[in-house]
Amino acid sequence: MSTDYSTRRSELIKQTQDEMAELCQRALQAGPTLASMANIKTAESPHKVIYREGKMRLLHYKTRLQRTHDTPILIVYALINRYQILDVQDKSMVKSLVDSGFDVYLIDWGTPSDSKSTIDDYVNYYLDAMVDVVRKTSGSEKVSLVGYCMGGTFSAIYTSLHKSKVKNLVTIAPPVDCSKETTVFGTISKHIDIDTIIDNLRNMPPELQHLFFFMLKPFKHHIEKYNQMVDRHEDELFINNSLRAERWLWDTPPISGEVFRQWVKDIYQRNLLIQNSLTVGNNTINLKNIDVPFLNIVAEQDHLVSPESSKALNYAISSKDRTLMSFQTGHVGLCASSYSKKEIWPSVGEWLIDRS
Amino acid sequence: MIKTDISNVRSRNSKQISITLERGNKASLKSEFQDSSRLNENSEDSSCMYQNDRSQSLQMSHLITCMSRHQQFLLRAWNESSEQVADKILASKKVGKQQRRALQIDTFERVFTNLFCSSEFCSNICEMLKLQTVLFKQSSQMYFQVKEIFGKIYGLPFEEESN
């Protein structure tokens, strides 16, 4: 290696480090400015709250269109961050389903008021109560469950136990076979001492969730994103959309301690669900009990839940009518992107229309 | 009525203390014995506290080791990313400013994501989290604060690994 080459290389390394440090500092400085712009309003599809359970709410979406399908849809969101990501302006999954003529309901889990609720409480008490309210309100004996991420896993567990109330099951990127997890979450969960954390902190606090989010795409999501916002600060539409996304990203309620303990230990570490060995209340979950029409939606570029973990559900159930739709997008891109509006939700709508 | 002199028990107070006991009322007497036995318990408490302090001190020491390892992971990735960027720039004919930034972000992202997905890094960070949780009992005092990480990567006086 010539001296010139070696010198040039050293200069480039130094230059790269200086430039990256500047980008990092700039992103860090952008934070407080962005935080002060709190007056960003998120527009949600019109709805009314038809049921409350503690801080949980069941939303019923309004429409001026005639509802043309008999089976109502109940959307089951995850316990991580809030449901508004499913109802993002002009990319709204909720609006897409409402505009397709469905009677749509959604569970807002709210902020947990206790740390003791387990998967059993969430599935057999809260979710079951919400399903019953939807059945009563709509006059339909059965509902179509549409579960996102953790909500997808809960919906599958629910269907295995209460299939008489479920007409169709749609899961979006559900963690199922965690032996196939290769994401940061998957690796972290193998090592985390969840007992010590929950025993001491009671709930899974937002700060720790942010830490794990941060590790997912550190430079693209936490450095370049903020630099883009600084660079494009005069582009009002871009800034408003970005700030809305920021608001969702940092609006993180704690996760109830016991449900998170069981989630990490039984679903991720012991991988009990796919082995039909997960205990929920007095029941052992057997995924073979699921025999309703089933649609599984996965993202090939999902960095939160490995698509292979989700796909396993298609082979674990006994439904004759089962479909796997795989899309070239990421986890959030499945439900809140121009791509999902154009490609995913029309396909899901068609699948549901044929079965509702 | 009997009179009991317990001056020996409280001799350090160097004054005579008399208590009056009703015959058959052992409760008060028992409580005195309990008080004196509590002195022993207290001495055991002190020992226990000492052990707790020692255990905390060991945990803190372990935490510092983990934090140091954590910083070294990050520093290594930081250097490796910079070297890869330099090599890519040297291998290409001309790289514009925008291309260079994209190259930097992509390269750093890939190297750091590989690091964050590694078992070695995750097991260390989980150990840090466990120790911090036990020591501080609250998440707000977590060393590894999200918004500060890159400030720490660049701003902390890293110590180079000895071998």
Which range has the worst mean pLDDT, A1-15, A152-166, B101-115? A1-15
User: What DSSP character marks residue B14?
Assistant: -
Tokens 């008490």 locate to A125
Chain B residues with CB inside 8 Å of A182's CB?
117
Which range has the worst mean pLDDT, A51-65, A135-149, A154-168, B22-36? B22-36
Q: φ, ψ for residue A280 (rounded to 5)?
A: -125, 110
* Structure tokens, A338: 């121009």
A142-153 per-position pLDDT tens digit: 999 999 999 999
Tokens 């995924």 locate to A287
Chain B residues with CB inside 8 Å of A190's CB?
119, 122
| A284: confidence class by pLDDT, cuts 50, 70, 90 | very high
pTM: 0.82
Tokens 């016991």 locate to A258
CA distance A333 to A331: 5
| A300, A301, A303, A309: CA torsion to nearest 10 | 10
pLDDT of B27 above 70: no
Of B82, B104, B133, the CB nearest to A196: B133
Which range has the worst mean pLDDT, A75-79, A289-293, A318-322, B39-43? B39-43
Using alpha carbons only, give the angle A187, A192, A197 rounded to the nearest 5 degrees. 150
Mutation target among A4, A187, A249, A269 for the B interface, most CBs of B within 10 A = A187
Query: Within 10 Å of residue B80's Cβ, how many Cβ atoms?
Result: 16
CA distance B56 to A226: 39
pLDDT of B31 above 60: no
* Structure tokens, A173: 């990127």
| A61: confidence class by pLDDT, cuts 50, 70, 90 | very high
Give whole-number Cα distances, B17 to B5, B7, B13, in Å. 7, 6, 9
Give whole-number Cα distances, A147 to A60, A74, A95, A144, B40, in Å. 16, 8, 16, 10, 60
Which range has the worst mean pLDDT, A6-10, A211-215, A261-265, A279-283? A211-215
A90: left (phi over 0), alpha (psi -120 to 50) or beta: left
| B120, A78, A153, B130: CA torsion to nearest 10 | 30
* CB of A295 closer than 8 Å to CB of A169: yes
Q: What is the pLDDT of residue A168?
A: 98
Quick check: A24 and B153 CB within 8 A?
A: yes
Q: What is the pLDDT averaged over residues B62-87?
A: 89
Give whole-number Cα distances, A69 to A65, A99, A170, in Å. 12, 12, 16
Query: Within 10 Å of residue B103's Cβ, how many Cβ atoms?
Result: 17
pLDDT of B43 above 50: no
Beta-carbon pairs below 8 A across chains A and B: 126
Pairing relationship of beta strands B2-5 and B18-21 according to DSSP bridges: antiparallel
Quick check: B134 and A196 CB within 8 A?
A: yes
* CB of B122 closer than 8 Å to CB of B116: yes
B126-158 per-position pLDDT tens digit: 998 888 888 876 554 454 444 454 444 444 433
Residue of chain B minimizing CA distance to A24: B150
ipTM at complex level = 0.80
The catalytic residue positions of A are 149
